[in-house]
């Protein structure tokens, strides 16, 4: 187990290093001078030179690279070129809002998706199966901003059940839930569509196994066979795929945050792109990579919890 965790950690560090290197160079070749972007094109030459020196942009590229890597490790991600505040503070300020949204959506997706997938598999090639398959295919065909706009049109503008703009700043639990509801339903239903499909195909494979036939032959209750014997085995591919869909979830959360005008990493990255805030962009990509690498690691480790047969070697 320890060796496995160490090996996975080693791989995570290599991936992180590789992505950080790519990030550093991508951000450096963005067209446009950040000093000019901050001061405006009327700024004097002296002011531009001074600002470049203050931001470290006058240093040779390899010095900037070493400083960048060192900074990432010790938690110094530089200061925002626009607001002047430390990047890590700005990110940490909005990170909880994004995490809250994605985690709630993921839970919603699993709560809706897993039972639907199981039901669809058990009723294979019957009407419930066809309906579930079509509905899930439709669900994953929705660009997140399209479904967000439609939800907003129906539930916030026509029916007025939810606020049009979710501030994400609500203090009471009720306010927070009301703010969170539509964005989480939007992301959650798309995730449910993905999860339903994986759960269905994983269940289909398990349902054909010999031990399931044995369980039937022993006279076990149908529900026990499905939920206790089949689902537990079918969950491994489901967990893997949910880990793989993290990228989709992150992309969709950006779009959802924009439509619902909800604070979070999505709004932060769009702002940073528009204002050419190099250090902020760098920090955003570091945090996204960290999240992806960490979730992949957790996904690998979760297998053991679901399936005790898996030995980490």
- Confirm or reject binding of residue 279 to another protein (CB under 8 A): no
Min dist CB 118 to another protein, Å, is 17
Distance (Å, whole) CA 69 – CA 245? 28
DSSP string, 211-259: HHHHHHHTT--HHIIIIIIIHHHHHHHHHHHHHHTHHHHHHHHHHHHHH
4, 8, 19, 155: residue in contact with another protein (rule CB under 8 A) = 19
Based on CB atoms, which residue is closest to another protein, 15 or 47? 15
Instruction: Please report how close the Cβ of residue 292 comes to another protein at its closest, in angstroms.
Output: 5
Q: Report the residue from 146, 221, 294, 298 that binds another protein according to the rule CB under 8 A.
A: 146
- The footprint of another protein on residues 174-203 (CB under 8 A) is 201
CA–CA separation, 245 and 230 (whole Å): 23
When asked if residue 140 is in the footprint of another protein (CB under 8 A), the reply is yes
Count residues contacting another protein (CB under 8 A)? 47
Using CB under 8 A, pick the residue from 26, 63, 69, 92 that binds another protein: 26
* Residue in 259, 268, 280, 286 binding another protein, rule: CB under 8 A: 259
Q: Which stretch binds another protein (CB under 8 A): 24-32, 70-78, 81-89, 102-110?
A: 24-32
Q: What is the nearest approach in angstroms of another protein to the Cβ of residue 145?
A: 5
User: Stretches 1-9, 102-110, 133-141, 178-186: which one binds another protein (CB under 8 A)?
Assistant: 133-141
Q: Write out the two tokens for 94.
A: 């909005």
73 belongs to the binding site for another protein (CB under 8 A): no
Residue from 6, 9, 13, 22 in contact with another protein (CB under 8 A): 22
137 binds another protein (CB under 8 A): yes
Q: How far is the CB of 115 from another protein (least distance, A)?
A: 21
**What is the binding site for another protein (CB under 8 A)?**
15, 18-19, 22, 26, 29-31, 125, 137-138, 140-146, 149-150, 152-153, 157, 201, 204-205, 246-248, 250-252, 254-255, 258-259, 269-270, 273-274, 281, 285, 288-289, 292-293, 296
């Amino acid at each position: 187990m320890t060796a496995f965790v160490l090996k996975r950690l080693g791989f995570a560090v290599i991936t992180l290093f590789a992505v950080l290197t790519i990030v550093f160079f991508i951000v450096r070749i963005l067209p446009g001078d950040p000093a000019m972007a901050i001061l405006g094109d009327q700024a004097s030459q002296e002011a531009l030179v001074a600002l470049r020196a203050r931001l470290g942009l006058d240093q040779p590229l390899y010095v900037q690279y070493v400083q960048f890597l060192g900074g990432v490790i010790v938690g110094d991600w530089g200061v925002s070129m626009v607001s002047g505040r430390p990047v890590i503070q700005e990110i940490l300020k909005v990170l909880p809002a994004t995490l809250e949204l994605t985690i709630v959506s993921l839970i919603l997706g699993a709560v809706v998706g897993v039972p639907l997938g199981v039901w669809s598999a058990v009723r294979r090639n019957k009407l419930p199966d066809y309906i579930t398959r079509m509905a899930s295919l439709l669900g994953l065909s929705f660009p997140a901003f399209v479904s967000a706009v439609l939800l907003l049109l129906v539930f916030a503008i026509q029916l007025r059940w939810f606020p049009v703009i979710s501030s994400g700043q609500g203090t009471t639990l009720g306010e927070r839930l009301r703010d969170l509801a539509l964005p989480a339903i939007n992301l959650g239903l798309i995730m449910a569509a993905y999860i339903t499909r994986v759960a269905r195909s994983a269940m289909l494979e398990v349902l054909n196994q010999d031990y399931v036939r044995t369980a039937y032959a022993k006279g076990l209750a149908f529900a026990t066979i499905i939920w206790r014997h089949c689902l537990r085995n079918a969950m491994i591919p489901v967990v893997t795929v949910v880990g793989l869909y993290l990228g989709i979830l992150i992309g969709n959360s950006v779009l959802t945050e924009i439509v619902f005008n909800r604070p979070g990493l999505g709004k932060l990255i769009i702002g940073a792109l528009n204002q050419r805030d190099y250090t902020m962009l760098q920090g955003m990509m570091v945090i996204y990579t960290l999240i992806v690498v960490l979730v992949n690691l957790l996904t690998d480790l979760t297998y053991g919890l679901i399936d005790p047969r898996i030995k980490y070697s």
